[in-house]
């Protein structure tokens, strides 16, 4: 039986930042078999599911880059529109612009929005301090590591006070120690600057470590297996019994939903 977080009633509707009710297919291939959930203001929501279940496709729909076969995505009660809404995207691979310095990479979104230059400098200096990149402001992407490039991309996403920040397995290519540092840094930025984050991962431990709430998706055609608030205090101890219990619960759900290899 799916564990659920109730959808907000009218009295709480103002708290909803993103409201999702979609299904999607590519021709005869059903990718999402009716996904329905809401994301609250300043919530850190993790979407977890097996590889190939359509998580990246779902992010494209949430960003307004792809129209669902059925249903809609609302941001602030309006149909999502990348021309109207400020949506930041952090990809699996670092998306720095090689001809710009670290400082200017982070400033790109602010300058596109024509913010005053004094504000740009203030915001960029502040967030570079949060992601521990002070001293590297004038370096170019080819002069810094992959983990540092991803910090630049994350800093750029937070710098513009986005309506929604979508993160598509941003640490998947990093080694474990770097991945753990990046998880802690994302939480540090989010706790300081706030923002509504939808974070996609297939790593169950990462989902339990980061999320205020985790939605577990099944294999394709994806449906919601569990929608569970995570109330463990931060910083979270990955070895605590409560943490291990949640991780085991999610793993059991995913294993039960995977297609049988016997072909029966």
Q: Which residues contact 143 (CB under 8 A, 6 or more apart)?
A: none
pLDDT band at 205; cut points 50, 70, 90: very high
115 and 73 belong to one structural domain: no
* Higher-scoring residue by pLDDT: 140, 51: 140
What Cα–Cα distance (Å) separates residue 51 from each residue in 2, 42, 203? 20, 27, 10
152 and 252 belong to one structural domain: no
42 and 100 belong to one structural domain: no
pTM score, whole prediction: 0.88
The predicted structure's pLDDT at residue 14? 44
98 and 201 belong to one structural domain: no
10 and 103 belong to one structural domain: no
The predicted structure's pLDDT at residue 35? 96
Tell me how far apart the alpha carbons of residues 43 and 208 are, in angstroms, rounded to a whole number: 14
Tell me how far apart the alpha carbons of residues 200 and 58 are, in angstroms, rounded to a whole number: 9
81 and 187 belong to one structural domain: yes
3 bridge partner residues: 226
The predicted structure's pLDDT at residue 92? 84
The predicted structure's pLDDT at residue 262? 47
Count how many domains the chain has: 2
Q: Name the domain boundary from 162, 181, 204.
A: 162
Write the Ramachandran bin of 104: left for phi over 0, alpha for psi from -120 to 50, otherwise beta. alpha
**Which percentage of the chain shows pLDDT scores above 90?**
63
The predicted structure's pLDDT at residue 189? 87
- Whether 43 shows a pLDDT value over 90: the answer reads yes
What Cα–Cα distance (Å) separates residue 77 from each residue in 1, 13, 14? 30, 9, 9
The predicted structure's pLDDT at residue 5? 39
User: What sign does the dihedral 113-114-119-123 (CA atoms) show?
Assistant: positive
- Whether 52 shows a pLDDT value over 70: the answer reads yes
Domain that holds residue 119: 94-162
127 and 156 belong to one structural domain: yes
Q: Name the domain boundary from 162, 192, 210.
A: 162
Tell me what the mean pLDDT of segment 106-131 comes to.
Answer: 91
- Helix, strand or coil, per DSSP, at residue 26: strand
Best-predicted range by mean pLDDT (37-41, 48-52, 144-148)? 37-41
52 bridge partner residues: none
CATH code for the domain in which residue 4 is found: 3.40.50.300
Tell me how far apart the alpha carbons of residues 102 and 128 are, in angstroms, rounded to a whole number: 9
**H or E element: which one contains 28?**
none
Token output for 259: 């297609």
What Cα–Cα distance (Å) separates residue 225 from each residue in 71, 133, 152, 210? 20, 39, 34, 19
16 bridge partner residues: 40
- Whether 260 shows a pLDDT value over 80: the answer reads no
Q: Which of 150-154, 176-180, 256-260 is least confident?
A: 256-260
247 and 197 belong to one structural domain: yes
The predicted structure's pLDDT at residue 13? 41
177 and 74 belong to one structural domain: yes
The predicted structure's pLDDT at residue 84? 87
Name the DSSP class of 3: B
Q: Name the domain boundary from 117, 134, 162.
A: 162
Q: What share of the chain is helix, strand, coil (3-state, %, to 5)?
A: 35, 25, 40
55 and 176 belong to one structural domain: yes
Tally the residues of the chain.
264
127 contacts 170 by C-beta, under 8 angstroms: no
Q: What is the mean pLDDT of the chain?
A: 88
33 and 75 belong to one structural domain: yes
Q: Tens digit of pLDDT for each residue in 18-35?
A: 999 999 999 999 999 999
The predicted structure's pLDDT at residue 257? 66
169 and 112 belong to one structural domain: no
User: What sign does the dihedral 151-120-127-197 (CA atoms) show?
Assistant: negative
The predicted structure's pLDDT at residue 261? 52
The predicted structure's pLDDT at residue 258? 67
């Amino acid at each position: 039986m799916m564990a659920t977080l109730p959808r907000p009633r009218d009295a709480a509707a103002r708290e909803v930042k993103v409201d999702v009710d979609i299904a999607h297919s590519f021709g005869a291939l059903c990718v999402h078999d009716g996904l329905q959930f809401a994301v609250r203001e300043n919530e850190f929501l993790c979407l977890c599911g097996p590889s190939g279940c359509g998580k990246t496709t779902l992010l494209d729909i949430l960003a307004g880059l792809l129209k669902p076969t059925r249903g809609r995505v609302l941001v602030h009660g309006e149909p999502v529109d990348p021309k109207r809404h400020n949506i930041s995207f952090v990809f699996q691979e670092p998306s720095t612009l090689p001809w710009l310095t670290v400082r200017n990479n982070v400033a790109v979104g602010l300058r596109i929005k024509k913010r005053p230059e004094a504000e740009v400098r203030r915001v960029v200096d502040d967030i570079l301090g949060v992601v521990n990149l002070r001293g590297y402001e004038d370096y170019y992407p080819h002069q810094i590591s992959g983990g540092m490039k991803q910090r630049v991309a994350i800093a750029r996403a937070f710098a513009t006070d986005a309506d929604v920040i979508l993160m598509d397995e941003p640490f998947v290519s990093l080694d474990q120690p770097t991945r753990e540092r990046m998880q802690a840094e994302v939480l540090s930025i989010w706790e300081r600057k706030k923002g509504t984050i939808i974070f996609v991962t297939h790593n169950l431990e990462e989902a339990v470590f980061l999320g205020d709430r985790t939605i577990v998706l099944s294999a394709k055609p994806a449906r919601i297996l569990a929608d569970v608030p995570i109330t463990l205090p931060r910083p979270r101890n990955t070895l605590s019994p409560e943490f291990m219990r949640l991780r085991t619960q999610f793993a059991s759900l995913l294993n039960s939903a995977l297609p049988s290899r016997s072909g029966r």
